Amino acid sequence: MTPEKIKFEILTPHQKVFSSDVTAVRLPGYSGYFGVLPRHTPYLSSLRLGEIKVQINQDISYFATSGGFVEVFPHSITVLAETAEPARAIDHKRAEAARDRALNRQKEGQKAWSVPRAQAALLRAINRIRVASKS
């Protein structure tokens, strides 16, 4: 028996990152990760920085996101994300360089750099590295 599926899309201001019928999705909500299956109750949530896990039958894909919103209906899920990229598309070395740059800026402190911006950049880089390691 083929598992029931639900239409899933990830959209950013610049592109449609993903669109397919999927078996299940796990998303980074502000209160923690949550899963969505076909015929889910309608739901709207903000998303935080983290990974999106997409399952199509036995295949699993991961996406790094820096947050946004998700709209869930019984037969569709739409993520509107600030940024989202598939794990296989993440340049691991570039993400590590961004992490190192953010760490250095944090150490240099408020006089040279905006510490909150450096902290946000660090979190994004760490998330990209973690998600990239799953591809």
The domain locations on the chain are: 6-87, 92-132
CA gyration radius, the chain = 16
Q: Topology of 92-132 in CATH? A: 1.20.5
How far is Cα 28 from Cα 48, in angstroms, rounded to an integer?
6
Residue 2: both structure tokens together = 């083929």
Fold annotation for 6-87: ATP Synthase; domain 1 (2.60.15)
Look up the pTM and report it: 0.85
Predicted confidence (pLDDT) per residue in 7-59, tens digit: 999 999 999 999 999 999 999 999 999 999 999 999 999 999 999 999 999 99
86 in Cβ contact with 79 (< 8 Å): no
Give me the residue label for tokens 């796990």: 26
Per-residue model confidence (pLDDT) at position 38: 94
Classified as helix, coil or strand, 93 is: helix
Count of all residues that appear for the chain in the document: 135
Segment 52-109, tens digit of pLDDT:
999 999 999 999 999 999 999 999 999 999 999 999 998 889 988 988 888 887 777 6
- Measured CA to CA, the distance from residue 25 to residue 10 in angstroms comes to 11
Is 6-87's fold the same as 92-132's? Answer: no
